[in-house]
Structure 1
């Protein structure tokens, strides 16, 4: 199975704090493309518990 580096989530959270009106999906795509990850929909992560999603 594919494991996500925790740093990606930390970076996503940081990006959202810097740019709270930014599109989460676009930021996410950029971050995973930088790492050449397969695309994982944000909804499949437990990102919601981070409190970054209103």
Structure 2
């Protein structure tokens, strides 16, 4: 005979909610970091291009 498992749906939903909130926070943080990195890359590459054109000129 199977033992009836306790109903954990409420606890599971609460845990899922916390997990989703954590994931959202991480995504926002990662997006911000990614934006900063790509901005920095743009600035660096434009600076390199400017330096190169100044040297060639």
Instruction: With the length of structure 1 as denominator, give the TM-score of the two structures.
Output: 0.30
**Which of the two has greater helix per residue?**
2
Instruction: With the length of structure 2 as denominator, give the TM-score of the two structures.
Output: 0.29
Q: Which is greater in Rg?
A: 2
